[in-house]
Structure 1
Amino acid sequence: MSEEVMIEIREQLLPATEAAVRIVQRIPADRLDAPTPCPGWDVRDVVNHLIFWNGRGETAARREPVTGPGEDHDFTAEPGWDARFADQARRTAKAWSDPAAWEGNTSLSGNKEGMPADFIGGIVFGELVLHGWDIAVSTGLDPALPPDIVEAAWKQLVPTAEVSRQYGALGPEVPVPEDAPFLDRLLGLAGRDPRFNGRTPDVRS
């Protein structure tokens, strides 16, 4: 990742965090079981995934040991989960606001070898943007993602999409017209159908 793109992502991380927090805190209680653009996942699954890995994002930025419940934990079963996510997400954003967090290697899983910190920071940022959109369109909310966030997410995803696909983090690219809105092109590259209408999507690997 170029230094210019890294700085742009770092600057947009807090706005992306606040956008995701706004979406999560407005989820209707009766929509947690609704289907999402992520095959096989309902809204609850996406929310739990976002909460879990965002928390890991803070420990990765601070180079702290991995602690807490596992990925199969249902955070939404605990009263006040949305407020705790807001607190956690802001702590994670603050941790990544330190330029030193983007240097060297770190890991979301506690792996000692780790991966380049700018790649990990990009993942934390991308999760907020993409899963924020997933949750919003699945629950009837407006994602309301500012153009600067979308542009930064595009710059982060273009060089990393294929690697992410190899790790199973993204589905196959969804064809989108070249003259489509920027957000639609971002979503297609990320394996999302921008026309998702709240019905269960076709299963994709």
Structure 2
Amino acid sequence: MSQDQLIKLAVEPVLDVVRAIREDQLDAPTPCTDYTVRRLINHLLYWGPSLEAGARKEIVTPPETPEAEADLTDGWQDKLLAHLTQLAASWGTPQAWEGVTHMGGPTEMPATLVGGMVVGETVVHGWDLARATGQNPEWDADLLAYVHKELVANVQWGRDMGVYGPEVPVPADAPLIDRILGMTGRNPAALR
């Protein structure tokens, strides 16, 4: 499977999760302890334009308003669905994965690294939203194998940047999604 096909496999289950989120669930905690459902949606919408632009080799800096101060406005569900659809379209071309790109700032990084992060974050944050709202999405096995491989290669870099918390021990024979979650600092049994 080519890299440009991965984002579609990551996004499709998350679209279903977002469609099923109810307004009364927005203040529910997520397994990502820094976020409620509302704050995680804000996070995804705040960084969304930068991640989409990375696929086009453009620099789009996040808004000046700090992410923590952003608040959901009317139409959050439609906005998040549109963002996820655009994210899949942007990273769904071979050109997106070639050369170097940016992620919300001037620092150049390999496009394969940024694309891999986008795919992984889509799965992990999609799982966060699902778990917080009582849903249980499933992702393609080849996609999860890719995300796991990328995490193994880059998890310490992510921890150094504060993107991932300390690893949560997970049995070696646990489902692959659980091992991915444990590496990112999440407890796969959270909020069950």
TM-score normalized by structure 1? 0.84
CA distance in 2, matches of 1:189, 1:15: 21
Cα distance change of structure 1 residues 71 and 23 upon mapping to structure 2, 3 Å threshold: farther
Cα distance change of structure 1 residues 147 and 75 upon mapping to structure 2, 3 Å threshold: farther
Q: Equivalent residue for 2:41? A: 47
Corresponding residue pairs, total: 190
Equivalent residues in 2 for 1:119-158, closer than 5 Å? 119-158=113-152
Q: 1:27, 1:139 within 8 Å by CA — same for their partners in 2?
A: yes
How much does 1:136 deviate?
0.6
| Alignment partner of 1:101 is 2:99 | no
Q: Equivalent residue for 1:74? A: 70
Q: 1:17, 1:89 within 8 Å by CA — same for their partners in 2?
A: yes
Q: 1:173, 1:190 within 8 Å by CA — same for their partners in 2?
A: yes
CA distance in 2, matches of 1:117, 1:80: 31
Q: SS in structure 2 opposite 1:41?
A: coil
How much does 1:64 deviate?
2.5
How much does 1:146 deviate?
3.1
Q: Which moved more, 1:64-73 or 1:50-59?
A: 64-73
CA distance in 1, matches of 2:191, 2:88: 31
Q: SS in structure 2 opposite 1:140?
A: coil
1:73-95 alpha-carbon deviations (Å, 9 max, x no partner):
6352x222211222222222212
How much does 1:110 deviate?
2.7
Q: Match for 1:152: what amino acid?
A: Y
Q: Equivalent residue for 1:182? A: 176
Q: 2:155, 2:164 within 8 Å by CA — same for their partners in 1?
A: yes
Residue among 108, 112, 115 paired with 1:118: 112
How much does 1:68 deviate?
6.3
How much does 1:181 deviate?
1.4
TM-score normalized by structure 2? 0.90
Q: SS in structure 1 opposite 2:188?
A: coil
Q: 1:55, 1:89 within 8 Å by CA — same for their partners in 2?
A: no
Q: Equivalent residue for 2:83? A: 88
How much does 1:155 deviate?
1.9
Q: 2:51, 2:104 within 8 Å by CA — same for their partners in 1?
A: no
Backbone CA RMSD of aligned residues:
1.9
User: What are structure 1's unaligned runs of at least 5 residues?
Assistant: 199-205
Cα distance change of structure 1 residues 146 and 114 upon mapping to structure 2, 3 Å threshold: same
CA distance in 1, matches of 2:80, 2:92: 18
User: What are structure 2's unaligned runs of at least 5 residues?
Assistant: none
Q: Match for 1:120: what amino acid?
A: V
